[in-house]
Structure 1
Amino acid sequence: MMKLRMILIVFLVGLTSLPTMAQDQTVTLKLTDVNLYELFDAIRKQTGLRFLYNAEQMKEVPKVSVDVKNKKVKEVLTEVLAGTSLTFEYDKDVVTVVKKEADKSQPQVKLVQVSGRVVDEKGNPIPGATVLIQGTTQGVA
């Protein structure tokens, strides 16, 4: 009975020391004007997370500044990548940085140039006429 208790205690202690889920890990960072490579390296050093990314896509992202204390990695990455064309996905201890997919629910807008004159029934121009795109508030006077 004593051996069983000892084994159970060792087992439970072992479970509590397992690493937490990747997106639940927290970091403390104070970085100013760094590129994403440097940010990812700082996160890796604190958490052991590895990052996969396309170097060409990373060049499009401007330098960032991060000042966080005990913040979840997921929240830090969401904030940093918010204004970019990139997002991220987790797979165990690997974070893959990918290009955002175009939102399929939003119809693609096709721009069309329209030109012409606004005239009355006699063909005379109407000064100050306003033309609006149907269903919007966009137009021209």
Structure 2
Amino acid sequence: MSIMDSIALPHDAPFEPATPMIIDSFAGGGGASTGIEMALGRSPDVAINHSGPALALHQANHPETLHLNSNIWDADPLSVTGGRPVGLLWASPDCKHFSKAKGAALCDRNIRDLAWVVVRWAEEARPDVICMENVEEFVTWGPVG
């Protein structure tokens, strides 16, 4: 049984069913969500991260967001959204293991493969807009265009 099998959104969820959802996958402390809130006037409806401490910080910054402590691959898009439309999917796959900022060109395939979850969300949740941010070395992984 995955964590997604037990998800039940509260009846008083912070969004209206007709309002397209905002999903912050790979949610960290909440910086991207703060930018989303400043731009769109509301915080994400759902934040997903496998790190309890990161989600605790995100929750302190965005208490109205539903926080899912889950491996991103275990977060089934249709279970998370309940079939509701997704207006924005924000994705920030981990980049610290292959960024030149680390000081060496270390490419951990397990970390690099995290970006593929965005394709899964695109196919299954069909968001209106997908924003994926990463480091410039991302384009060296293969064809991006």
Q: TM-score range, shorter-chain basis?
A: under 0.3
The structure in which a higher percent of residues are helix is: 2
The structure in which a higher percent of residues are strand is: 1
Greater relative contact order, per chain length (Cα 8 Å cut-off, separation 6+): 2
Higher gyration radius (CA): 1
Task: Please report the TM-score for the alignment, with normalisation by the length of structure 2.
Answer: 0.23
Task: Please report the TM-score for the alignment, with normalisation by the length of structure 1.
Answer: 0.24
